[in-house]
Structure 1
Amino acid sequence: MSRGFVKEGDQEETPIIPPRAALPAGATNYVTPLGMELLQAERKELEEESAKLPTTNEQQRRIELAILNSKLDLLNERIASARILDPATQPKEEVRFGATVSYKINTSPITLTFQIVGVDEADVAKQKIAFVAPIAVALTGHTIGDVVSFNMGGELRKLEVLNIQYD
C-alpha cells in the first residue's frame, strides 16, 4: 500500500534497542552460577513488566511491548548460549574464570582487586570484569608472584599477581 494512504499519526518509529554487553565473535559465553541466576532473574523481571503494561493507550503499549520483547529476545539468546563455569572447579593456584585476583602495578604500594566473570555479570563498580577484558586476558593462566607485562594507556606496565581466590 502506498504511504500516501497512511495517516501521519499511525506511523510508528521502530524503537532502538541497545545491544547487550559485547561478546567477541566465536567466544564462548561463560557465566558464573551467580551470573546465570542474574540472567534468569532479569528474564523474569522483563516478563512480569510485559504482563503489567497498561492498556489505556494502545499505541504506547505496542511500542513498550516491542521494546520489552526485543530485550527479551536478546536476553534469551544470551541465556541459550551461556555455559556455566563454576569457579569452585578451577585450579586454585592460577588465575582463571571466576577468580578474584589481587595485583599491583609496577612498584605501586596500592593493591587492586577484581573478579573475572561473564560479560553480562561484569560491573566495574562491584570490582567484576569480563573474562574478555584485556587485563583479565593478560592475567589468566598466571600464578601468585608472576609479573605480567601489560600495555596500559600506551605505556608498558608490569602487573604482579599478589593473591588468587575462588569464592
Structure 2
Amino acid sequence: MAGQIPMTRNGVERLKEELHQLKSQDRPNIIQAIAEARAQGDLSENAEYESAKERQGFIEGRIAEIEAKLSNVQIIDPSVLNADGKCVFGATIELEDLDEEKSFTYQIVGEDEADIKANKISISSPLARALIGKEDGDVVEVETPGGQKTYEITNVSYI
C-alpha cells in the first residue's frame, strides 16, 4: 500500500478493535477447530478441516490487511482543522436535497469507515468529492445512479 490512508480517530479505533478480536479470539478459535478436525483422521475427505483452513486463511489475510492499513494511517481530526466552514475530510455536513426537499446529514470519512447506514460517506464517493471545499450555503450538483441531484449545504460542523 502506497501513501497515507486518511482516517478519523473513530475509524482507527474500530480497526484496532477488529484486529484485537481477530488476534485474541478468532485466531485461537480457528487453530482449535483445525486441531479438532485433524484429530478426526483422514484429512483428504474432511470438510470441517477444509472449512477451518479456509477460515484461517481469511483471518490471517484480514489481520495482515488491517496491520498494513494501521501502519500507513493518517489520523485526521476535523475538530482541530482550521477549515473556516469548508467541507473537509471528517466534517459533518447537513444537506437539503433541493429536488425532493429532504434533509440529510453525512460525515466524510475514509473508504474503510464508510457506512451509509451510519451516515458516513467515503471521501472517494461522488457526493463527497462534490462537497469538498464547499461551504455553508453553497449549492452542489452531483451525478448519482438515479440521475442528477442538487443539494444545498445547510451546515458544516467538525465534531
Alignment TM-score, normalising by the size of structure 2 = 0.80
Displacement after TM superposition at 1:94 (Å):
0.8
Match of 2:36 among 39, 49, 56: 56
Consecutive unaligned residues of structure 1, counting only runs of 5 or more, are 1-24
Aligned to 1:39: 15
Q: How many residues align?
A: 143
Q: Specify which structure has the higher proportion of helix.
A: 2
Flag structure 2 segments of 5+ consecutive residues without an equivalent: 39-48
Find the counterpart in structure 2 of residue 98 from structure 1: 90
Deviations 1:38-85 (A, max 9, x none): 111111111121023322113344333222111111121221221111
Equivalent position of 1:74 in the other structure = 65
CA pair 94-47 structure 1, distance change in 2 beyond 3 A: same
* Distance in 2 separating the partners of 1:157 and 1:123: 20
Secondary structure of 2:36's counterpart equals coil
**Equivalents in 1 of 2:126, 2:2: separation in Å?**
17
Q: Which deviations, in whole Å up to 9, do the C-alpha atoms of 1:78-128 show, x marking residues without a partner?
A: 212211111112214111111111111225431111111111111111111
Give the CA deviation at 1:154: 6.1
Partner of 1:77: helix, strand, or coil? helix
Give the aligned residue type for 2:36. T
Inter-CA distance 133–28: structure 2 relative to 1 (3 Å threshold): farther
Change in Cα spacing, 1:160 to 1:27, as seen in structure 2 (3 Å) is farther
> What RMSD over aligned residues (CA atoms) do the two structures have, in Å?
2.0
Q: Give percent identity, aligned residues only.
A: 26
Normalising by structure 1, what TM-score? 0.77
Matches within 5 A, 1:1-167: 28-48=4-24, 49-53=26-30, 54=32, 55-58=35-38, 59-60=49-50, 61-90=52-81, 91-153=83-145, 155-167=147-159
Q: Which residue of 1 aligns with 2:46?
A: none
